[in-house]
Amino acid sequence: MRARAAAAAAPEREARTAMLTYAIGDVHGRTDLLARLLDRVNQALAVACIGLVLAYRSSSNLAAAYGIAVSGTMTITTVLYYEVMRIRWNWPIWKAGTDALDALPPLLGVPVGLKDLVNLEGTPTTAGSRILEGYVSPYDATIAARLKQAGAVIVGKTNMDEFAMGSSTEFSAYKKTVNPWDLERIPGGSSGGSSAAVAAYHVPLAIGTDTGGSIRQPASLTGIVGLKPMYGRVSRYGIVAFASSLDQVGPFARTVADLADVLGAIAGHDERDSTSYPAEVPNYLAEIETRKGPWKLGIPKEYFGAGLDPEVAAAVERAVAFYRSQGCEVSEVSLPHTQYCLDTYYIIATAEASSNLARYDGIRFGRRVVDPADIDDLYMRTRAEGFGAEVKRRIILGTYVLSSGYYDAYYLRAQKVRTLIREDFLKVYQDVDALITPTSPVPAFKLGEKSDPLAMYLCDIYTIGVNLAGLPAISVPSAS
């Protein structure tokens, strides 16, 4: 979904309201940049082939054959002769050309932006926090290394909510990022820098992380596509952790085909991440072509209740009508534990965050207060000055739900409910190929509009279920 004022601002793009679907190939073709790159290679190959054919024609028997052909007395013999010669002489050239193309790294020369929680050797990594100010990554995250290997050009780091906690990128300790479609509105969060950079045509691809919606929601609010892969599909090694059992790295792009390209390059088992999924990576680009449906789609009724903005609901309805017109069978389904998703998420995510963030103590990474009175003073003042209000709120909440006496009542119970939520999805997926839901309950809101933390937490209502269940999900634009 995008800001309301966007249609007038960019007539070449359809007005969009994103929804959450899984495995629906919505192919718009490649980005201009990739297309141009490939066109150039193809043109060069074509010129080389024509040159060789011309050279051959002028110096051999084929010239005679051509002479007959062009003089209007083309006979079958001539055609066959020409075909044999063409195959004999040109085929190896074309073959060599296509082999060379196949051998090119898949993202050769493509600029990519990285959310500023991905370690990239020799560059500052702040995770949007003052506490990491001055920290320079001594190594590449697996995702950064794989992008480089795939030929991508990493052009910069993108802004984010501090430690990926937020839905608007207003909680970055450094800068606020705005929505390129309407500068008074937020670009979503926490990966809002990545979504804004892609939507503003600064880069065709960017990387984000999604713990409870931080790829899909900003993709939705800026009118681009964003993918949260299955948990474990993309390595988390070298990513600043928020909530380890929910975090997943994924791409932003302007087309689904580009998402498929980049996912193919970054996915795959990594022995340095113990939760990495040890399976072969499919050829996603090819699968988009071969698995076009029609799909059996489910609409979870719990996702269309109170709190859903009518503009968003209408856009999703239009998308459903579109899929129906493409022959998809659409039926209503139920995910009965949806009402517990938000509570469950905010217990598990804060618990894991409080544990992960314990490492920022002023000793090992980044910022340290000057002239501490003693070690306790060093820890306390570094953390008090280094963390922002939202991060502190979550550390306090997480420490509370993990503390003895409350562990069983909150954390353990939340884990049990999480299992029920996952089972809801698994049951429904026995009958349908994909689910359609809104991504965000509301269109892009204005900066400063949501000052109440709970109002901000409600932005995740439709995205956090799949994180709790470990499932993949994509947000694609859906309105005009």
* Neighbouring-strand partners of residue 473: 228
Number of residues in contact with ligand GLN under rule CB under 6 A: 14
Element (H, E) at 226: strand 225-228
Q: Does the footprint of ligand GLN cover residue 167 (CB under 6 A)?
A: yes
Residue 293: name the closest of 318, 329, 332 by CA: 329
Report how far apart the first and last C-alpha atoms of the chain are (Å, whole number): 10
Work out which of 125, 142, 177, 214 binds ligand GLN, going by CB under 6 A: 214
Q: Give phi and psi for 190, each to the nearest 5.
A: -85, -10
- Binding mask 317-356 vs ligand GLN (x if CB under 6 A, - otherwise)? --------------------------------x-------
Q: Does the footprint of ligand GLN cover residue 172 (CB under 6 A)?
A: no
Work out which of 25, 97, 113, 166 binds ligand GLN, going by CB under 6 A: 166
Residue with tokens 């709120």: 393
Of the candidate spans 205-213, 395-403, 414-422, 469-477, the one that interacts with ligand GLN by CB under 6 A turns out to be 205-213
Q: In the complex, what is the shortest distance from the CB of residue 442 to ligand GLN, in angstroms, rounded to a whole number?
A: 13
Q: Is 458 helix (H, G, I), strand (E, B) or coil?
A: helix
Work out which of 125, 129, 190, 338 binds ligand GLN, going by CB under 6 A: 190
Query: What positions carry a catalytic annotation?
Result: 115, 190, 214
Residue with tokens 């029920």: 420
- Of 116 and 210, CB closest to ligand GLN: 210
Of the candidate spans 90-98, 134-142, 163-171, 375-383, the one that interacts with ligand GLN by CB under 6 A turns out to be 163-171
Work out which of 164, 203, 468, 469 binds ligand GLN, going by CB under 6 A: 164
- Binding mask 107-146 vs ligand GLN (x if CB under 6 A, - otherwise)? ----------------------------------------
Three-state SS string over 417-448 comes to HHHHHHHHHHHHCCCCCEECEECCCCCCCECC
* Sheet bearing 296-300, strands edge to edge: 329-333, 296-300, 434-435
Record the tokens describing residue 420, joined without a space.
């029920």
Of the candidate spans 5-13, 165-173, 310-318, 447-455, the one that interacts with ligand GLN by CB under 6 A turns out to be 165-173
**Whether the Cβ atoms of residue 150 and residue 268 lie closer than 8 Å to each other:** no
C-alpha to C-alpha distance for 80 and 135, rounded to whole angstroms: 69
- Of 127 and 152, CB closest to ligand GLN: 127
Work out which of 211, 222, 255, 439 binds ligand GLN, going by CB under 6 A: 211
- Binding mask 432-461 vs ligand GLN (x if CB under 6 A, - otherwise)? ----------------------------x-
C-alpha to C-alpha distance for 351 and 347, rounded to whole angstroms: 6
Record the tokens describing residue 457, joined without a space.
């937490």
Residue with tokens 């900003």: 218
Q: Does the footprint of ligand GLN cover residue 210 (CB under 6 A)?
A: yes
Record the tokens describing residue 42, joined without a space.
């193809």
Q: Does the footprint of ligand GLN cover residue 25 (CB under 6 A)?
A: no
Q: Does the footprint of ligand GLN cover residue 165 (CB under 6 A)?
A: yes
CA 479 to chain centre: 20
Footprint on this chain of ligand GLN (rule: CB under 6 A): 164-167, 190, 209-214, 242, 349, 460
